[in-house]
Amino acid sequence: MTQIVFEWVHWYNNERLHSALEHQTPEEYEQTYYDLLIGSLPDDAANKQAA
């Protein structure tokens, strides 16, 4: 029974789509928030290494 509760809490906190969060998961929304806050680079630019 406890395992089922933990799985539900994980789904609720990390995987569910939420209309108040622009239909993103809470995890995606939080990442987007921090990316905008610190101005992270797009994936292509962030993964390139200096010559």
| Burial status of residue 24 (CB atoms within 10 A of its CB: 0-12, 13-18, 19 or more) | middle
Contact status, residue 17 vs residue 25, Cβ threshold 8 Å = yes
Residue 4 structure tokens: 């089922």
Q: What is the pLDDT of residues 1-51, one digit of tens each?
A: 799 999 999 998 888 998 888 899 888 898 888 888 887 555 555 555 555
Q: Residue 13 and residue 6: Cα distance in Å, rounded?
A: 11
This prediction's pTM = 0.53
Exposure of 44 in the CB half-sphere (CA atoms within 13 A): 0
